[in-house]
Structure 1
Amino acid sequence: MSTNLSLPIWQGRIDAAEGSSALRWHQWVQPYDSEQPAGTALVGLACDEGVTRNQGRSGARQGPPALRKALANLAWRGERPVYDSGDIVCLGTDLEGAQHAYARRVCQLLDQGHLPLGLGGGHEIAYASFLGLAEHLRKHEARPRIGILNFDAHFDLRHAAQSSSGTPFRQIAEYCEQAGMTFDYCCLGVSELNNTQALFDQAERLKVRYRLDRQMQPWTIPALEAFVDEFLASIDHLYLTLCLDVLPASQAPGVSAPSAHGVDLMVVEHLARRAKASGKLRMADVAELNPGLDQDQRTARIGARLLASLVD
């Protein structure tokens, strides 16, 4: 594991003639410093090991810089500061070391009042994100009620000898059991044909709330809003994680496992914004971007749009 704290090159179009209201992300993002006022803090987990262990197609290690590049030229519309705290880099096969280093960074950012936005990397980022959030909250509450809202084609509840991109929510369930915390997990966009019956049985045992991809259509949005609202009402703190393979392959080709069906971006973004509007969002991340498999940066652009939608 290594830590890269250098600010990546944020660059893009500058519309100087149009004044201060024509800013873009690359003109707003600042290098992270522990003495700065609270804002939004980007933090990457540059890692392929979780996907490799899960027998997926490698390349997610390049996800964080690709997301920054896609964010850089977006129009800036917020007011709060945004910082780039760099990447935690997985060296060799030390996935567990990278996850714990990332969790420590997230906990530090939360302690300083920031909203951390994680840049993946494979979905092994989810265990690290939750761990950092839980460790922060447990300094103030014995048993914080954290809800996980995951947009994903997969439950990621696999049993395996090692941590991988397919095990994070099973690991979180085990953490919650050991800590005496409730495991509150809601997964939206599950593919019935890409999760075995064993995984559905596991989800049932763990009382996971979910909706299948085919249940998530534009005409079902009112029912989905009610479903998400009911989940949000039952928790105190929200961890939101967006696995890009929840989207149709035509929208998000740059992932390890493209979806034959998927959930349209309009539905995903609408529900993510609704979750953010609850005021309970404490941590969010985007996972599974594989730039080497992307076409015209379509997947990176979607990941950037989803991240930007979570910033005030």
Structure 2
Amino acid sequence: MKNYQKPNPDLWTGRSSEKQLYMHEKIRCITLEESTLLTINGKSFAFLGYECDEGVKRNQGRVGAVEGPNAIRKMLSSLSNHFSEEVSILDVGNITCKDHYLEETQYETTDSIALLLKHKMFPMVLGGGHDLGYAHYNGIKKQFPNKTIGIINLDAHFDLRETIDRGTSGTPFYQIAKAHDSFQYLCLGIQKESNHRELFNRADQLQVKYLYNTEFTIQNKEKVAQTVSEFIATVDLVYLTMDIDGFSSAYAPGVSAPSPLGFSIDIAMQTIQLICESKKMISADIVELNPKYDLDNCTARLAARIAYNIMIWLSVE
């Protein structure tokens, strides 16, 4: 793969304990190759970076998400390691975007995710723009062609814009709907201000299920849990995608499209835990982190904590 970049061990640094007390001591950097993946046994999580914000640029957003994957890695590095020895946590490197050729990057990302799933690894994909969603879904579908895949998106935006000439960070779920017979999509945190009338009409035509940001709150946790549980019950597998710009900019200022009225950490984490406990979640990604606009790495730290907790919750037997 010409866009593949091997993992950089220098990103994983911190205090040294010689007892694997910290994540940087737990992480193993391996290449994304069949022969290497065959050597990994037991429960394993694989960090794959999607080093691309060409889709954000095409969508007229502010660029910088290309730096997101490595920023999240750095914030994960110093966290405490509470995983058992039987759990493997791997860094398999990045898929980059050369010469603005987004589509080629998406193809390689699709193949990489399918390869990880083939070897029974949980892909934790770090973006990058939300155009990752199209590639990520296709990777799951490639490995599980006969399964019904439900998409749960924590986001302020539907990302259902029509593709005119080419895909962008605003089109991934429209592309999925057009490319596949089955389209099961639940979006949590939708904001009226961030989606025009035609996008709502398109969501209704595609039978998208969603909760507004005013509904996706801790005070409304029973309805949120019911909505999520009912959706999960209708599908075989769940693909969780989290646009970090769905959070309030009080928590996540370093994003492609900041939102002062986004959702809060408490309801997001409670919902993510519920999805993990369903035992149907097969893969996840975190997108739209833009370190260029971050403050004291707080957005990168939030993304790292989300990834960390997903692995914790999925490690529970």
Q: TM-score range by the shorter chain?
A: over 0.9
Identity within the alignment, %: 36
Indicate if the aligned counterparts of 1:8 and 1:86 stay in contact, CA closer than 8 A. no
Determine the C-alpha separation between the residues in 2 that align with 1:291 and 1:102. Answer: 22
Summarize deviations over 1:112-132 as a string: whole Å, max 9, x none. 110000000011111111010
Q: Which residue of 2 aligns with 1:13?
A: 15
Indicate if the aligned counterparts of 1:159 and 1:167 stay in contact, CA closer than 8 A. yes
Q: Which residue of 2 aligns with 1:190?
A: 190
Greater than 6 Å deviation, 4+ residue runs: none
- SS of aligned partner of 1:268: helix
Correspondence for 2:25 among 21, 24, 27: 27
Correspondence for 2:149 among 146, 149, 173: 146
Determine the C-alpha separation between the residues in 2 that align with 1:278 and 1:73. Answer: 29
Q: Which residue of 2 aligns with 1:164?
A: 168
Tell me, yes or no, if structure 1 residue 66 matches structure 2 residue 66: no
CA RMSD of aligned residues (A): 1.1
Deviation at 1:24, TM superposition (A): 1.4
Q: Which residue of 1 aligns with 2:118?
A: 111
Deviation at 1:7, TM superposition (A): 3.1
User: Which structure 2 residue ranges, 5 or more long, are not aligned?
Assistant: 31-35
Q: Return the letter of the residue paired with 2:14.
A: G
Q: Return the letter of the residue paired with 2:189.
A: G
Correspondence for 1:128 among 128, 132, 135: 135
- SS of aligned partner of 1:282: strand
Deviation at 1:91, TM superposition (A): 0.6
- SS of aligned partner of 1:154: coil
Q: Normalized against structure 2, the TM-score is what?
A: 0.92
Indicate if the aligned counterparts of 1:149 and 1:185 stay in contact, CA closer than 8 A. yes
Q: Which residue of 2 aligns with 1:55?
A: 60
Q: Which residue of 2 aligns with 1:46?
A: 51
Determine the C-alpha separation between the residues in 2 that align with 1:8 and 1:209. Answer: 41
Determine the C-alpha separation between the residues in 1 that align with 2:67 and 2:80. Answer: 23
- SS of aligned partner of 1:215: coil
Determine the C-alpha separation between the residues in 1 that align with 2:134 and 2:15. Answer: 36
Q: Return the letter of the residue paired with 1:291.
A: P
Q: Which residue of 1 aligns with 2:285?
A: 285
- SS of aligned partner of 1:310: helix
Determine the C-alpha separation between the residues in 2 that align with 1:69 and 1:12. Answer: 9
> What is the 5 A alignment of 1:84-99?
84-99=91-106
- SS of aligned partner of 1:214: coil
Q: Which residue of 2 aligns with 1:82?
A: 89
Summarize deviations over 1:198-233 as a string: whole Å, max 9, x none. 000000000000000011221101111111100111
Deviation at 1:176, TM superposition (A): 1.3
Indicate if the aligned counterparts of 1:99 and 1:127 stay in contact, CA closer than 8 A. yes
Deviation at 1:266, TM superposition (A): 1.1
User: Which structure 1 residue ranges, 5 or more long, are not aligned?
Assistant: none
Determine the C-alpha separation between the residues in 1 that align with 2:81 and 2:6. Answer: 23
Deviation at 1:15, TM superposition (A): 4.2
Deviation at 1:36, TM superposition (A): 1.5
- SS of aligned partner of 1:305: helix
Deviation at 1:260, TM superposition (A): 2.0
Summarize deviations over 1:36-58 as a string: whole Å, max 9, x none. 22411110110020000000000
Q: Which residue of 1 aligns with 2:214?
A: 214
- SS of aligned partner of 2:180: helix
Determine the C-alpha separation between the residues in 2 that align with 1:296 and 1:166. Answer: 28
> What is the 5 A alignment of 1:290-309?
290-309=290-309
Determine the C-alpha separation between the residues in 2 that align with 1:7 and 1:93. Answer: 23
Correspondence for 1:176 among 168, 173, 180: 180
Q: Which residue of 2 aligns with 1:254?
A: 254
Indicate if the aligned counterparts of 1:152 and 1:244 stay in contact, CA closer than 8 A. yes
Q: Normalized against structure 1, the TM-score is what?
A: 0.94
Q: Return the letter of the residue paired with 1:255.
A: V
Determine the C-alpha separation between the residues in 2 that align with 1:173 and 1:307. Answer: 27
Determine the C-alpha separation between the residues in 2 that align with 1:12 and 1:57. Answer: 31
- SS of aligned partner of 2:9: coil
Indicate if the aligned counterparts of 1:152 and 1:187 stay in contact, CA closer than 8 A. yes
Which region of structure 1 is more displaced relative to structure 2, 71-80 or 81-90? Answer: 71-80
